[in-house]
Amino acid sequence: MSIRRTFLQKSLLLGLFLSLLAVKGECKLGPWGLWTAYASHFIDGQGRVIDPQGNDRSTSEGQAYGLFFALANNDRDHFDRLLNWTQNNMASGDLATHLPGWLWGKDKSGQWKTLDSNPASDADVWMAYTLVEAGRLWKQPRYTTLGRKMMTQIAQREVVNLPGLGTTLIPGPTGFQHGQSWMLNPSYLPLFLFERFAFVDPSGPWKRIAQSIPRLLRESASHGFAMDWVSYVPGQGFKPVTLQQGKDAEVPVGSYDAIRVYLWAGMLSAKNSRRAEILQAVQGMGAYLVNHDSPPAKIGVQGDPIVQDGPVGFSAAVLPYLRAMPRCEKMFAQQEGRLRGQRDQSSGLYGKNQGYYDQNLVLFATGYLEDRFQFGLSGELVLEWARS
């Protein structure tokens, strides 16, 4: 009897253990409150992402990010509306043959339309990536087909082979080459996107782009800080520059574009062989935060803060980076506390002004840290809701 009782007890314990594993496997994080708040504040019924602080404009970047977050939350309704609006209003009705113009808004006569039809490659790669992964995760081949056709256009119009550097992504089809000088934006190059493209399309330029990214980040960073814009001249290398021209042009800085470099670096898979090199290239931010309460709003080319106390979205953006960096636990806790302290309970948004761009940075950072999404070793999107 004792043997039988022991066997039953072990069987019950095993059953309980397996039940707990099953519950854990089926346990979902639940609705993504920040995405719900974001969608209600910044996405209209048609699927247009609106930037209230930018004269209610819409950008291809905003549409691309919206698509990604909708996929991450298994939100097909918003996904399709975002996709349809983007295609109909920014891509001449067909993303398969037209990359989206980057800016849509009200012109001087009061007409709402595309204001700048030049595509922005950061939006294009995020949109193509999201479509390819949506097709795989939702088992909808039409999304994958559309994403791959966008990849073909990107390869044809926004990829160049720079002498002495190799293959890389330029910010858009026109306006970024001046003689033997090319203007580049380091934040347009999340490594995991191009690693995924290389897996999906081995014959494309994507593996070569991925191989050039660590060097580009390392050599374009100034005193360990990512810069918004840099120029590349063969034989001379990289130099921080400003996108603005003329007498009113500001000095080169690392600011609202560059903050994403730390975000993308922190979200790389821990198994990625290039992660340590990329984190080391922009180690200046970690060193800065040892003695400062928040990331700088603008950092100069000498590594000195031009404007301190960046917005709350900057604190969110550096969280994955700080978690990935060694010996940054204290800085992580400090920035996490700043982020938590600036959440508005009534709106569900973050920051004193609850800016549109801040919410995008917070969505990326918190969605990643909450394990709603991860990027695998080959850049594949790993989603909490899709796990078996």
- Confirm if 282 and 225 have CB atoms less than 8 A apart: yes
Give φ, ψ of 229 to 5 degrees: -135, 145
CA quadruple 182, 188, 189, 193: dihedral positive or negative? negative
Dump pLDDT digits (tens) for 63-91: 999 999 999 999 999 999 999 999 999 99
Dump pLDDT digits (tens) for 153-167: 999 999 999 999 999
Return the pLDDT at 19: 38
Rounded CA gap, 194 and 237, in Å? 23
Name 285's Cβ contacts closer than 8 Å, sequence gap at least 6: 224, 225, 226, 262, 295, 318, 321
Helix (H) or strand (E) segment spanning residue 284: helix 284-289
Task: Choose among 263, 242, 252, 369: nearest CA to 313.
Answer: 263
Dump pLDDT digits (tens) for 220-230: 999 999 999 99
Task: Choose among 87, 92, 91, 114: nearest CA to 103.
Answer: 114
Look up the pTM and report it. Answer: 0.92
- Confirm if 119 and 125 have CB atoms less than 8 A apart: no
Rounded CA gap, 128 and 100, in Å? 11
Rounded CA gap, 303 and 310, in Å? 15
Per DSSP bridges, beta strands 103-106 and 237-241 are unpaired
- Confirm if 100 and 63 have CB atoms less than 8 A apart: yes
- Confirm if 348 and 162 have CB atoms less than 8 A apart: no
Count of beta carbons in the 10 Å neighbourhood of residue 272: 18
383, pLDDT greater than 90: yes
Name 318's Cβ contacts closer than 8 Å, sequence gap at least 6: 259, 262, 263, 266, 285, 289, 295, 335
Residue whose entry in the numeric block shows the structure tokens 């989603």: 383
- Confirm if 119 and 65 have CB atoms less than 8 A apart: no
14-42 average pLDDT score: 68
Name 108's Cβ contacts closer than 8 Å, sequence gap at least 6: none
Give catalytic residue positions. Answer: 61, 122
Dump pLDDT digits (tens) for 220-279: 999 999 999 999 999 999 999 998 766 566 899 999 999 999 999 999 999 999 999 999
CATH of 31-157, one of 1.10.3720.10, 1.25.40.10, 1.50.10.10, 3.30.470.20: 1.50.10.10
Q: ∠ at Cα 317 (309, 221), nearest 5°? A: 80
